[in-house]
Amino acid sequence: MKLNDLLKENSQWLRGTGANADIVISSRVRLARNLADVPFPHKADPKQREKVVTTVLRGIENCELLKNSLVLNLQELKLLDRHFLMERHLISMELVESRKSGAVVISEKEIISIMINEEDHLRLQAIQSGLQLMDTWRLIDQADTALGKRIKFAYSRDWGYLTSCPTNTGTGMRASLMLHLPCLVVSKQIGKVLQAIAKLGLAARGLYGEGTEPSGNFFQISNQITLGSSEEDMIDNIERVGKQVVAHEENARKFLLARNRKQLEDKIFRAYGILQKAQIISSAETLNLLSSLRLGIDLGLVQDVNHNVVNELFMLTQPAHLQKIEGVELSPEERDVKRGDLIRRFLK
Amino acid sequence: MKLNDLLKENSQWLRGTGANADIVISSRVRLARNLADVPFPHKADPKQREKVVTTVLRGIENCELLKNSLVLNLQELKLLDRHFLMERHLISMELVESRKSGAVVISEKEIISIMINEEDHLRLQAIQSGLQLMDTWRLIDQADTALGKRIKFAYSRDWGYLTSCPTNTGTGMRASLMLHLPCLVVSKQIGKVLQAIAKLGLAARGLYGEGTEPSGNFFQISNQITLGSSEEDMIDNIERVGKQVVAHEENARKFLLARNRKQLEDKIFRAYGILQKAQIISSAETLNLLSSLRLGIDLGLVQDVNHNVVNELFMLTQPAHLQKIEGVELSPEERDVKRGDLIRRFLK
| CA closest to A302 among chain B residues | B277
Mutate to test the interface with B, among A274, A334, A344 (most CBs of B within 10 A): A274
Q: Read off the pLDDT of each residue in A317-326 and give the average, rounded to a whole number.
A: 96
Mean pLDDT, residues B211-231: 86
Q: Which amino acid is at A67?
A: K
**What is the pLDDT at residue B303?**
96
Do β-strands A24-33 and A122-129 pair in parallel, antiparallel, or remain unpaired?
antiparallel
Phi/psi class of residue B89: alpha, beta or left (left: φ > 0; alpha: ψ in -120 to 50)?
left
Q: Which residues pair with A32 in a beta bridge?
A: A123
Contacts 24+ apart (CB under 8 A), B194-201: B194/B219, B197/B221, B197/B241, B197/B245, B200/B237, B200/B241, B201/B225, B201/B237
Lowest mean pLDDT among A44-53, A128-137, B2-11, B295-304: B2-11
Is the CB of A279 less than 8 angstroms away from the CB of B266? Answer: yes
Q: Which residues of A touch B262 (CB under 8 A)?
A: 279-280, 337
Query: Mind telling me how many Å the CA of A87 is from chain B's nearest CA?
Result: 27
SS3 B210: coil
Residue B3: predicted pLDDT: 85
Mean pLDDT of chain A: 93
Give the pLDDT of residue B159.
Answer: 93
For B279, which residue in chain A has the nearest alpha carbon?
Answer: A266
For residue B51, the tally of other CB atoms under 10 A from its CB is 17
Contacts of B257 in chain A (CB under 8 A): none
| Cβ pair A40, A120 in contact under 8 A | yes
Q: How confident is the model at residue B214 (pLDDT cuts 50, 70, 90)?
A: low
pLDDT of A48 reads 96
The reported pLDDT for the residue numbered A214 is: 67
Give me the pLDDT at residue A54, please: 95
Rg (CA), chain B: 20
Which residues contact residue A162 at a Cβ distance below 8 angstroms, ignoring those fewer than 6 apart?
A34, A154, A155, A156, A169
Cα–Cα distance for residue pair A304/A346, rounded to 1 Å: 12
Question: What pLDDT, on a 0 to 100 scale, did the predictor assign at position A15?
Answer: 79
- The arithmetic mean of pLDDT across residues A68-81, rounded, is 93
User: For A177-205, what is the mean pLDDT?
Assistant: 92
Q: What's residue A210's pLDDT?
A: 55
Q: Name the strand (E) or helix (H) holding A235.
A: helix A231-259
- Dihedral through CA B114, CA B118, CA B123, CA B125, nearest 10? -60
List pLDDT tens digits, range B69-111.
999 999 999 999 999 999 999 999 889 988 888 999 999 889 9
Q: Is the pLDDT of residue A113 over 90?
A: yes
Mean pLDDT of all residues in B11-39:
91
Query: For all residues of chain B together, what is the average pLDDT?
Result: 93
| Nearest-CB residue to A262 (from B270, B274, B279) | B279
Q: Which of A266, A269, A278 sits opposite B266 (nearest CB)?
A: A278
* Closest listed residue to residue A113, CA positions, set A94, A93, A80, A85: A85
Shortest distance between the Cα of A207 and any Cα of chain B, in A, equals: 27
B300: left (phi > 0), else alpha (psi -120 to 50), else beta? Answer: left
Nearest in space to A272 (alpha carbons), one of B344, B322, B216: B344
Distances (CA, A) of B181 to A130, B239, B254: 52, 16, 13
The DSSP element (H or E) to which B240 belongs, if any, is helix B231-259
Residues of A in contact with B340 (CB under 8 A): 266
Residues of B with CB under 8 A from a CB of A: 262-263, 265-266, 269-270, 272-281, 337, 340
- Whether the per-residue pLDDT at A211 is higher than 80: the answer is no
Confidence of residue A239 (pLDDT cuts 50, 70, 90): very high
Nearest CB among B273, B279, B340 relative to A277 is that of B273
Give the distance from residue B267's alpha carbon to the nearest chain A alpha carbon, in angstroms: 8
**Cβ separation B265–A279 shorter than 8 A:** yes
pLDDT tier for residue A133 given thresholds of 50, 70 and 90: very high
Give the length of chain A.
348
Q: What is the bridge-based pairing of β-strands B122-129 and A218-223?
A: unpaired
pLDDT cut 90: percent of chain B above it: 82
* Window from A1-10, A52-61, B288-297 with minimum mean pLDDT: A1-10
Q: Do B263 and A280 touch (CB under 8 A)?
A: yes
Interface A–B counts its CB contacts (< 8 A) at 52
The span from the CA of A267 to the CA of B341, in Å, is 15
- Cβ neighbours of B272 in A, within 8 Å: 273, 277
Is the pLDDT score of A82 beyond 80? yes
Confidence of residue A319 (pLDDT cuts 50, 70, 90): very high
8 Å CB contact between B173 and B223: yes
Tell me the shortest Cα–Cα distance from A8 to chain B, in angstroms. 29
Span A88-109, pLDDT tens digits? 999 998 899 888 889 999 998 8
Ordered by where they begin, the domains of chain A are 3-182 (3.30.590.10), 261-346 (no CATH)
Q: CA A82, CA A102: separation in Å to the nearest integer? A: 11
Mean pLDDT of A45-57: 95
What's the pLDDT at A70?
94
Q: In chain A, what residues touch B266 (CB-CB under 8 Å)?
A: 278-280, 340
Residue B279 has pLDDT above 60, yes or no: yes
Looking at residues B49-57, what average pLDDT do you find? 95
Position B166 scores a pLDDT of 92
Residue B8 clears pLDDT 90, i.e. is over it: no
Residues on chain B touching A266 (C-beta within 8 angstroms): 278-281, 340
Residue B210 binned pLDDT confidence (cut-offs 50, 70, 90): low
Packing angle of the helix pair B283-298, B307-316 (nearest 10 deg): 170
Residues of B in contact with A275 (CB under 8 A): 273
Using a pLDDT cut of 70, give the percent of chain B over it: 98
pLDDT interval class at A213 (50, 70, 90):
low
Contact B278 A272 (CB under 8 A): no
Query: Collapsing DSSP states into helix, strand and coil, what is residue A301?
Result: coil
What is the C-alpha to C-alpha distance for residues B317 and B323, in angstroms, rounded to an integer?
9
Q: What is the ipTM of this complex?
A: 0.88
- At residue B22, what are phi and psi to the nearest 5 degrees? -70, -35
Between the alpha carbon of residue A116 and those of residues A35, A49, A99, A221, the distances in Å are 11, 9, 13, 24
Interface of A with B (CB under 8 A): 262-263, 265-266, 269-270, 272-280, 337, 340
Mean pLDDT, rounded, for A130-138: 96
Nearest Cα of chain B lies from the Cα of A27 at a distance, in angstroms, of 34
Cβ-in-10-Å burial (0-12, 13-18, 19+) of A21 comes to buried
Residue B211 has pLDDT above 60, yes or no: no
End-to-end CA distance of chain B: 31
Q: Is B277's CB within 8 Å of A279's CB?
A: no
- Residue A280: which of B266, B277, B279 has the nearest Cβ? B266
- Which segments of chain A are extended strands (E)? 24-33, 70-73, 103-106, 112-116, 122-129, 155-156, 160-161, 173-180, 202-205, 218-223
**Residue-wise DSSP of B256-323:** HHHHSHHHHHHHHHHHHHHHHH-SS--HHHHHHHHHHHHHHHHTTS--SS-HHHHHHHHHHTSHHHHH
Say which DSSP state A206 is in: B
Chain B environment of A276 (Cβ under 8 Å)? 273, 276-277
Which residue from B324, B317, B312 is spatially nearest to B287, judged by alpha carbons?
Answer: B317
For the purposes of burial, counting CB atoms within 10 Å of the CB of B243, is it exposed (0-12), middle (13-18) or buried (19 or more)?
middle
Higher pLDDT pick, B4 / A340 = A340
Q: What was the pLDDT predicted at B7? A: 84
